[in-house]
Amino acid sequence: MAVPLAEELCRLIEEREPRLEVVRDHTLVPPMRGPADWSGDPDFRRSPEQQAAYDAMVDSADVLFGIPDVDAAALARTVAANPRLRWVMTTAAGGGSTVQAAGLDRAALDRIVFTTSAGVHGGTLAEFAVFAVLAGAKGLPRLLADQGERRWPDRWEMRQLDEMTVLVVGLGGIGAECARRFDALGARVWGTSRSGRAVEGVERLIAPDELVEVAPHVDALVVTLPGTAQTRHLIGEDVLAAVRPGAVVTNVGRGSVIDEQALLRALDDGRIAFAGLDVFEQEPLPAASPLWAHPRVLVSPHTAALSAKEEERIARRFAENATRFLDGRELRAVVDTVEFY
């Protein structure tokens, strides 16, 4: 165990895959401050003896649950010191970025399989996406403003989700969960896909290079993509200029996928009626960012995925993948070591 994990969940992994020896020492990892706090208490410090013991533990493993100290430099040190290492599961869905930051050579990337928790957070993030689109459709900013002023205006029409077309940008684990929920609520669901594989609840598949073409025909953009060189600012000026006026945007993928300056311009001129954002280009979101005070923006501090069940779900995913690993089968959620997602 390279990161903190409750003893009962360590035992759960052992019960679900008895062939796996789970080596852990809870005194060598920082205590969690809340659910899924994999980095743990920042005030935690190891003594020199404890650091040597921790290094020896991770350097002797064939498999690591978590990136050591959730730190790219620590991962690079462990990979160099441990020729036995064959598989690392990152506890973050976007753990590929930390693997990339470690600067591992191709031999190491070919030797070690890296997997993520991608898909584990799909349900919670999909709920936030539905919440954000409904907040836009029902005019949450207007309702709050009127309530704050104790103003009873003339009745006005709210939009209905079952009359909207929702474009899910990215139909991976999170996107598929979003599509399923929006479809269940009666929306017409389109989705972008590079593979072209059918996804439950998705009426129409869109190639990523068709975004500008289809943008005028959708009422909401739900972004679920990982942050890579290929996805950076995919939702940029061209897409936001093409959207149907009054569209809603939400992002539960990575902040780099949306060009925030272009989004602000689209919000200011009314093309985008509302944006519910859980992720941002820079995190924490700087206090000077105009997004904080924008009247049609809801800021969530990258917390929509957090759940009291997250650690258990990730432990169960690890145990499932451990069985696959020991049986010589393909693992789930393998990091692409070219694009690192």
Specify the residue for token string 């593979």: 195
Backbone angles phi, psi at 109, to 5 degrees: -65, -30
Exposed, middle or buried by CB within 10 Å (0-12, 13-18, 19+), for 273? Answer: buried
HEC profile for 26-89? HHHCCCCCCCCCCCCCCCCCCCHHHHHHHHHHHHCCCEEECCHHHCHHHHHHHHHHCCCCCEEE
Angle between helices 173-184 and 122-137 (to 10 degrees): 50
Tell me the sheet residues that pair with 114.
88
Sheet with strand 220-223: strands edge to edge: 204-206, 188-192, 165-169, 220-223, 247-251, 272-277, 297-299
> In this structure, what DSSP letter does residue 219 have?
S
d(CA 55, CA 45): 14
Instruction: Please tell me which residue in 111, 217, 233, 302 is annotated as part of the active site.
Output: 302
Cis peptide bond upstream of 245, omega within 30: no
Look up 302 and say whether it is catalytic. Answer: yes
Q: Which of 84, 194, 283, 329 is catalytic?
A: 283
Query: Is 283 designated active site?
Result: yes
In the set 121, 180, 188, 254, the catalytic residue is 254
Determine how β-strand 272-277 pairs with β-strand 220-223. unpaired
Distances (CA, A) of 183 to 126, 130, 190, 310: 12, 11, 10, 25
C-alpha closest to that of 182 among 234, 239, 125: 125
Catalytic residues, which ones?
254, 283, 302
